[in-house]
C-alpha cells in the first residue's frame, strides 16, 4: 500500500479485525511549528475498537486485554456509524459528567463495579474515536496522521452521543498555548500534538506525538499496603508503590495515603486480599518505617496517582490516589525520572 492510494472496503465477511497496539506520546513542551495538529487529551481508558462488517465489535485495552464486557452499551454503536464497513479505530472510553465532560472519577466507578443496567444509567460511557487504523482489509498505518484524520471524519458518522469523533486543530490556525489555556478553563486533561505527516507506529512511544497534561499523573504498581490509623484504623492506610526498571526489577517509588473514597477503600480491600504474599515483591530497599507492618501483595495491580515531583532518588512526593487502571499491565509501568531536588 502506498500513501494516498485507494481505500479498499473488502475483507473476510463477519471477521473482527485484529487489535493494533496503541501508539504513545512522549511528555514534553508542545511544538509550535506549523507541522503539527493538536487534539485534546481525554481523561479515560484507551481502547482499540475492532469492528466487523457485520457490526460485531470488540474493545481492547492498551495492555491487550479484551474489555468488551465492561462497556456493553457501546457494542451496537459502531455498526450504524460505519455504514457496514469493517474497521479498526483508536480512541478513548470516557465517562461523562452532567456537563458532558470526561471525568476520571466516574470511570473509576465503572472500573470498580459490574456494568449493571443501573450503573450504566448512572455513569454512561462514550467512545471518543481519534484515529482510523484500518478499513476492511486495508491498513492505514502508513498513511500520514492528517490523512487518517480526514478519513475518520469522512467514514464515521455517529448515530448518537455514545460515539464521538472529537475535533482536531491545525497548527496553522491555532497555537498550543491557546489550546492549553482553553483546556485549563474547561477542565480538560491536556493537549496532544501530532506530526501531520506521521505514520501510526503500533506499540511505540514516539516523539512524533507529544503530550502535555495540566496535572502530573503517574501509573504505579501496587506492591503492598499499610494499616491506617484513626478513622481508618484496622483498614487500609497507604499503598506501597513501584515501577519496573530496565532489568525487570520492581523498584520501590513511594507510597500514597490520601485521595481514597470510602468506596475505593472497600474495593481495594476486596481486590488486595487474594493477592497476599509472605515476602516483599520489591527488588530494592523499602524504607524501614514504610516496610514495618506492611502487608505484601503480588504486583498484579496498576493504579494511578497525582504527584507534585520526583526526587533525585526517584521517589514520588506529595501523592494522591486517583484509582486503579485495569486497562494497564504491570510490565508497562516504569520508574519515574527525577524532576527536582530532595
* Segment 54-66, tens digit of pLDDT: 999 999 999 899 9
The DSSP secondary-structure symbol of 233 reads B
Q: What is the mean pLDDT of the chain?
A: 91
Does 29 qualify as catalytic in the annotation?
no
* Segment 152-206, tens digit of pLDDT: 999 999 988 999 999 999 988 899 999 999 999 888 889 999 999 999 999 999 9
Distance between CA atoms of residues 225 and 256, nearest Å: 9
Provide the pairing of β-strand 125-135 with 163-164. parallel
The terminus-to-terminus CA distance of the chain in angstroms comes to: 53
Of the pLDDT bands very low, low, confident and very high (cuts 50, 70, 90), residue 13 is low
| Residue 323, Ramachandran bin (φ over 0: left; ψ between -120 and 50: alpha; else beta) | left
Distance between CA atoms of residues 314 and 306, nearest Å: 15
Please give the CATH superfamily to which domain 217-332 belongs. Nucleic acid-binding proteins (2.40.50.140)
- Sheet hosting strand 24-27, strand order edge to edge: 24-27, 205-213, 190-195, 36-41, 169-170
Q: Which of 89, 91, 88, 93 is nearest to 74 (CA)?
A: 93
Architecture of the domain spanning 24-195: 2-Layer Sandwich (3.30)
Q: Which of 261, 257, 330 is nearest to 104 (CA)?
A: 261
For residue 10, pLDDT over 60 is answered with: no
Query: Any idea where the domains of the chain sit in the sequence?
Result: 24-195, 217-332
Q: Which residue out of 29, 41, 118, 194 is catalytically annotated?
A: 41
Cell reading at 110: 465503572
Amino acid at each position: 500500500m502506498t500513501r494516498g492510494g485507494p481505500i479498499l472496503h473488502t475483507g473476510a465477511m463477519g471477521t473482527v479485525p485484529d487489535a493494533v497496539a496503541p501508539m504513545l506520546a512522549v511528555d514534553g513542551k508542545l511544538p509550535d511549528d506549523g507541522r503539527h495538529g493538536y487534539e485534546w487529551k481525554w481523561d479515560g481508558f484507551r481502547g482499540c475498537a475492532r469492528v466487523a462488517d457485520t457490526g460485531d465489535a470488540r474493545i481492547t485495552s492498551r495492555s491487550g486485554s479484551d474489555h468488551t464486557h465492561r462497556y456493553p452499551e457501546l457494542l451496537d454503536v459502531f455498526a450504524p456509524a460505519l455504514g457496514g464497513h469493517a474497521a479498526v479505530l483508536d480512541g478513548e472510553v470516557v465517562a461523562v459528567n452532567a456537563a458532558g465532560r470526561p471525568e476520571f472519577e466516574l470511570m473509576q466507578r465503572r472500573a470498580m463495579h459490574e456494568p449493571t443496567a443501573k450503573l450504566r444509567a448512572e455513569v454512561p460511557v462514550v467512545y471518543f474515536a481519534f484515529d482510523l487504523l484500518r478499513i476492511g482489509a486495508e491498513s492505514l498505518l502508513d498513511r500520514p496522521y492528517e490523512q487518517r484524520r480526514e478519513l475518520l471524519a469522512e467514514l464515521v458518522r455517529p448515530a448518537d452521543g455514545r460515539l464521538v469523533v472529537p475535533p482536531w486543530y491545525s497548527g496553522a490556525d491555532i497555537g498550543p498555548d491557546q489550546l492549553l489555556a482553553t483546556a485549563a478553563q474547561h477542565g480538560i486533561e491536556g493537549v496532544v500534538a501530532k506530526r501531520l505527516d506521521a505514520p501510526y507506529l503500533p506499540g511505540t512511544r514516539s516523539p512524533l506525538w507529544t503530550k502535555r497534561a495540566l496535572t502530573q499523573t503517574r501509573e504505579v504498581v501496587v506492591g503492598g499496603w499499610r494499616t491506617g490509623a484513626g478513622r481508618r484504623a484496622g483498614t487500609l492506610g497507604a499503598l506501597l508503590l513501584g515501577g519496573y526498571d530496565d532489568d525487570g526489577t520492581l523498584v520501590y517509588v513511594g507510597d500514597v495515603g490520601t485521595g481514597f473514597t470510602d468506596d475505593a477503600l472497600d474495593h481495594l480491600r476486596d481486590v488486595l486480599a487474594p493477592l497476599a504474599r509472605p515476602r516483599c515483591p520489591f527488588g530494592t530497599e523499602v524504607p524501614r518505617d514504610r516496610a514495618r507492618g506492611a502487608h505484601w501483595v503480588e504486583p498484579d495491580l496498576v493504579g494511578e496517582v497525582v504527584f507534585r515531583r520526583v526526587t533525585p532518588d526517584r521517589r514520588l512526593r506529595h501523592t494522591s490516589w486517583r484509582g486503579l487502571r485495569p486497562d494497564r499491565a504491570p510490565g508497562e509501568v516504569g520508574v519515574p525520572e527525577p524532576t527536582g531536588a530532595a
